Amino acid sequence: MADFTDSEVFLAFSTYATIVILKMMFMSPLTAYFRITRKAFANIEDTQMGKTPDEKKKMLRVNEDVERVRRCHQNDIENVIPFVLVGFLYTLTGPELSTALLLFRLFVGSRFVHSFVYVMAWPQPSRGLSFFVGLCATVCMAYHVLAAGLRL
Amino acid sequence: MADFTDSEVFLAFSTYATIVILKMMFMSPLTAYFRITRKAFANIEDTQMGKTPDEKKKMLRVNEDVERVRRCHQNDIENVIPFVLVGFLYTLTGPELSTALLLFRLFVGSRFVHSFVYVMAWPQPSRGLSFFVGLCATVCMAYHVLAAGLRL
Amino acid sequence: MADFTDSEVFLAFSTYATIVILKMMFMSPLTAYFRITRKAFANIEDTQMGKTPDEKKKMLRVNEDVERVRRCHQNDIENVIPFVLVGFLYTLTGPELSTALLLFRLFVGSRFVHSFVYVMAWPQPSRGLSFFVGLCATVCMAYHVLAAGLRL
């Protein structure tokens, strides 16, 4: 077991996976920040800022900036978690370090670009492209996993 | 370690887990397809098709077909990821190959049926039933994991 | 391999991870329960209760109780899955049993409190606090993973 957990490929995987998971989790405080600065909440118990019940109720609203960050978070969930799951199975197939590093870096890099571009609302195709690069890295790893031993 | 990653149960798990994750990830391009054909987007930077600012703004709308695919994707996230996580722990408990294969096939099969039925809007209880079969497979594996060694 | 899967830290991880995943999955039937009792559905094929087409269409509505449970489920996805993924990598670094148990218990306990407080709509900062405790446990494990072997 120690042979595996000390291998360069596994250490690279665990580093990149942890970094991109932390990046994904960072979207939660970012959402909270936008909710507070935009005064747009989803739960009545979060509107303590408001003094009157009327003012509180007005804070239960949908704000475009908040929704943007939430969509970005959701997109992370849809892509980062498959990467970590497939990436672990890929690491277990014993890939070449150089190939693995390339795929891990491509994915993690593309997700940082994706989040930045999404929150900043940069024009397309920057967001679509960064999404696509990440998707390709995961699909490539999935192909390697299936090729290493397909049992149906 | 190689004993484990070469075992039939692990190879079956890695095959089925990868397939069902790919199926889940396929919902992203499907959502994009529906967004483009229905001209219903969430981000203003995605409405490049529109010529005038007015036309662009009109494309920022909620479309029932798009929402249906998104709910289907969300349901996948809520069920496929627990399956992969619990399934890996279950694989580590060294289950019988026949039992493991049965559970993996039931889950993966039920999720393909679920997505098809959801997107096609087939009458109930087809969707509820396929959801329930998948849930049972995961809960069954979770029970085996807890039974194999409970440490609180 | 058996040395690892029989270790106390791994068994504790697999127990707590499975319990908190089951807790997360329980939000699905809870949502269904609220949807049925509140008669608020998202899909037209789910409104079989309604007799006339008009009555069915009226059931396609957003209900605050349903949305609350769904937000709670979403928050679980955003936090429980990172915990399980990072927690597994953390378990592989061979942490002290006492530290690992403390972090696992803190996280799982905080998530049960979080869901209860969320669904019951208790006043803040109960929800924010329980969210924050869980977040800290995961970030703490992520730090240990990165400290155990950083390969960029």
* Residue C48 confidence (pLDDT): 84
The per-residue pLDDT string of chain C (152 residues; one tens digit each, 9 = 90 and over) reads 778 888 899 999 999 999 999 999 999 999 999 999 999 999 988 888 888 888 888 888 899 999 999 999 999 999 999 999 999 999 999 999 999 999 999 999 999 999 999 999 898 899 999 999 999 999 999 999 999 988 88
Average pLDDT over residues B109-131: 93
Does the pLDDT of residue B139 top 90, yes or no?
Answer: yes
* Residue B149 confidence (pLDDT): 83
**List of residues 6+ apart from B7 with CB closer than 8 A:** none
* Residue A21 confidence (pLDDT): 97
Q: Does residue B136 belong to the interface with chain C, where contact is any CB pair within 8 Å? A: no
Using alpha carbons only, what angle is made at residue B133 by residues B68 and B30, rounded to the nearest 5 degrees? 25
Average pLDDT over residues A103-113: 96
Query: Nearest residue of A to residue C144 by CA position?
Result: A18
Distance of CA B61 to the CA centre of its chain: 26
d(CA C103, CA A57): 38
Average pLDDT over residues A22-27: 96
C4, B132 Cβ separation under 8 angstroms: no
Does the pLDDT of residue B18 top 90, yes or no?
Answer: yes
Q: Do B15 and A149 touch (CB under 8 A)?
A: yes
pLDDT band per the 50, 70, 90 thresholds, residue B53: confident
* Residue B124 confidence (pLDDT): 85
* Residue B48 confidence (pLDDT): 84
* Residue A124 confidence (pLDDT): 85
Average pLDDT over residues B6-20: 94
Q: Which chains, if any, share at least 3 CB pairs under 8 A with chain A?
A: B, C
* Residue A48 confidence (pLDDT): 84
* Residue B83 confidence (pLDDT): 97
**Chain segment A51-86, per-residue pLDDT in tens:** 888 888 888 899 999 999 999 999 999 999 999 999
Does the pLDDT of residue B15 top 90, yes or no?
Answer: yes
Higher pLDDT, A76 or B53: A76
Q: Which two tokens stand for residue B74?
A: 């969300």
Share of residues in chain B with pLDDT > 70 (%) = 100
pLDDT band per the 50, 70, 90 thresholds, residue A138: very high
If phi > 0 it is left, if psi is from -120 to 50 it is alpha, else beta; for residue B40 that is: beta
d(CA A77, CA B73): 11
**How many CB atoms lie under 10 A from the CB of residue B81?**
25
Q: Does residue C71 belong to the interface with chain A, where contact is any CB pair within 8 Å? A: yes
Q: Do C77 and A77 touch (CB under 8 A)?
A: yes
Q: Does residue A86 belong to the interface with chain B, where contact is any CB pair within 8 Å? A: yes
Domains in chain A and their CATH numbers?
2-28+62-150 (1.20.120.550)
Kindly provide the residue ranges of all beta strands, DSSP E only, lying in B12-144, ordered along the sequence. Answer: none
Q: Do B15 and A86 touch (CB under 8 A)?
A: no
* Residue A88 confidence (pLDDT): 96
* Residue C56 confidence (pLDDT): 87
Q: What mean pLDDT value characterizes chain A?
A: 93
Type of residue found at B102: L
* Residue C147 confidence (pLDDT): 93
Q: Do C145 and A84 touch (CB under 8 A)?
A: no
The b-or-e profile of B10-44 (16+ CB within 10 A means b, else e) is: bbbbbbbbbbbbbebbebbebbbebbeeeebbbbb
* Residue A72 confidence (pLDDT): 95
Kindly provide the residue ranges of all beta strands, DSSP E only, lying in chain B, ordered along the sequence. Answer: none
Average pLDDT over residues A41-56: 87
* Residue B78 confidence (pLDDT): 96
* Residue B2 confidence (pLDDT): 74
* Residue B120 confidence (pLDDT): 92
Query: Nearest residue of B to residue A1 by CA position?
Result: B1
Average pLDDT over residues A8-18: 95
| Cis bond before residue C125 (omega within 30° of 0) | yes
ipTM for the predicted complex = 0.92
A95, A9 Cβ separation under 8 angstroms: yes
Q: Does residue C86 belong to the interface with chain A, where contact is any CB pair within 8 Å? A: yes
Q: Do C14 and B149 touch (CB under 8 A)?
A: yes
d(CA B67, CA B61): 11
